[in-house]
Homo-oligomer: A and B are copies of this chain.
């Protein structure tokens, strides 16, 4: 399908400006695949080679296959003191694999005067020459007009000349940026309409218009919508609205609004139905607690409390619900589980090669609900979920039986920290007692456990713990704070998640560790990955 509005995600670049945001290259790859599965058209990955981490990311991305998404590299217009083909950053953009490059440049005269101190005419040349250079090197180019709306209010003629410079040099899109989030929807509507009339209406169609907004006045989403209503065909934003200060425009809110309210098709309906799942998965990867009140995808988004409202929903959902929750993959029930439909459970079981009777599927759903009420969440713990299905299907054999474990962490007078773990377990009818040291308690437990069962299950020796995240959940206030541990295990081909929940971080870690190893021994995985894993070693499950 040809989208009526293109979704341009900048989670991996602008989203990372948010407080505390930091992802490894592998994690960024997982986010990119999640965005691709949702149907996002353009994924801005960052600056190529601005540092070793970005370098690794572009290297990884260049070997990856995406179904829909195109990767966008981000950079700035050339420096004022050199020609475009002599600018190291532009050359890196030209040389990188990404088919699309976005160049950010100035359009606000106040910035030229106060910040960069570049002559306005030289700025126009910087824009035109940078775009032209990348065009000659075969790139499609998007021009991000930084502070466009401030610039347009300050000196509209000059702001428009900047757009003309980019368009004239071959940019396929000029994106109007409300960089500091200062604008209101009526201002964005007026300015966008003016640009559409001036720049977007050239004889051969001109470039398309894009919109990039921030939430500093609480209008990030509304500003993006206002621009689309006046002609913008590309919307930049981030997943869950991550970003500097108050965040970027939230694509998770914008996508369903465009599609369900404005009737502008962006992605196939079955992809839109993955919205809730995708939003939460990205939150988990970023170690951000999902906002329960988030429009469309929040746990409370379709929850009803007022008595009159509940009665209304029962009689006719339209009376109190603005969209059908299922259209965005959400649920009317208060305790939302993405896995709570039998269809989903059957599909997942089939994926991992389990024949599941209908009553077993019902038990899986009940079990998921019960566990979720204590703090479990299976969206990012597919390994634990696969095990849960097998336990209910009767097709489950534990690798061992735990008798006890003990972990000691000691910081000595010398400042040296020593950690040892002792486990007592039963494997194949034999009692095994092992002690191992480690960098930390989970490492020591992992080594002791694999030492004890590795001879019986040699495949386990090839697995690597690639991620470990801990968060305190105060959702379960009544029973005291609970610790949730999510960890990812990899066999070098496939990566899967496991979860543990307990008051005690060590016990939660142990539970997640055991799940991650048992999931690694499931048929399909033990032979080198589930169906759907590509030969390039894409570390992405099919969710």
Determine if B222 and A26 form an interchain contact, defined as CB atoms under 8 angstroms apart. no
The contact of A504 among B304, B319, B440, B502, by CB within 8 Å, is B440
**A294 contacts across to B, CB distance below 8 A:** 246
Q: Does A370 contact B (CB under 8 A)?
A: no
The chain B residue sitting closest to A187, CB to CB, is B261
Instruction: Known contacts A17-B305, A404-B412; decide if A471 and B474 are in contact (CB<8 Å).
Output: no
Q: Does A137 contact B (CB under 8 A)?
A: no
Instruction: Known contacts A222-B219, A261-B184, A408-B407; decide if A312 and B111 are in contact (CB<8 Å).
Output: yes
**A502 contacts across to B, CB distance below 8 A:** 417, 440
Q: Does A461 contact B (CB under 8 A)?
A: no
**A309 contacts across to B, CB distance below 8 A:** 244
Determine if A295 and B20 form an interchain contact, defined as CB atoms under 8 angstroms apart. no
**A439 contacts across to B, CB distance below 8 A:** 480-481, 503-504
Determine if A245 and B300 form an interchain contact, defined as CB atoms under 8 angstroms apart. yes
Q: Does A298 contact B (CB under 8 A)?
A: yes
> Chain A: interface residue count, which band?
35 or more
Instruction: Known contacts A301-B216, A471-B469; decide if A322 and B441 are in contact (CB<8 Å).
Output: no
**A26 contacts across to B, CB distance below 8 A:** 474
Instruction: Known contacts A19-B379, A26-B474; decide if A110 and B318 are in contact (CB<8 Å).
Output: yes
Q: Which of A432-490 contact B (CB under 8 A)?
A: 439-442, 466-475, 480-481, 483, 486
Q: Does A506 contact B (CB under 8 A)?
A: yes
The chain B residue sitting closest to A439, CB to CB, is B503
The chain B residue sitting closest to A402, CB to CB, is B411
* Distance between A145 CB and nearest chain B CB, rounded to angstroms: 15
Instruction: Known contacts A24-B474, A185-B185; decide if A115 and B315 are in contact (CB<8 Å).
Output: yes
Q: Does A181 contact B (CB under 8 A)?
A: yes
* Distance between A314 CB and nearest chain B CB, rounded to angstroms: 9
Determine if A471 and B468 form an interchain contact, defined as CB atoms under 8 angstroms apart. yes
**A466 contacts across to B, CB distance below 8 A:** 474
Determine if B467 and A316 form an interchain contact, defined as CB atoms under 8 angstroms apart. no
Determine if A468 and B475 form an interchain contact, defined as CB atoms under 8 angstroms apart. no
Instruction: Known contacts A17-B305, A411-B404, A510-B411; decide if A300 and B246 are in contact (CB<8 Å).
Output: yes
Q: Does A380 contact B (CB under 8 A)?
A: yes
**A225 contacts across to B, CB distance below 8 A:** 184-186, 219
Q: Which of A311-327 contact B (CB under 8 A)?
A: 311-312, 315-316, 318-323
* Bound-state Cα–Cα, A370 to B287, Å: 25
- Write the residues of chain A forming the contact surface with B, with a CB cutoff of 8 angstroms: 17-20, 22, 24, 26, 53, 108, 110-111, 114-115, 147, 179-182, 184-186, 215-223, 225-226, 229, 241, 244-247, 250, 253-254, 257, 261-262, 287, 292-296, 298, 300-306, 308-309, 311-312, 315-316, 318-323, 335, 377, 379-380, 402-413, 417, 419, 439-442, 466-475, 480-481, 483, 486, 502-507, 510
15 contacting pairs across A/B (C-beta < 8 A): A18-B293, A19-B300, A108-B319, A182-B323, A185-B226, A215-B293, A216-B295, A218-B295, A244-B309, A247-B293, A406-B408, A411-B510, A419-B504, A440-B503, A470-B505
Please provide the 10 A-B residue pairs with the shortest distance between their CB atoms, ordered closest to farther: A222-B222, A182-B322, A470-B470, A218-B253, A218-B221, A114-B316, A440-B504, A439-B503, A409-B506, A468-B472
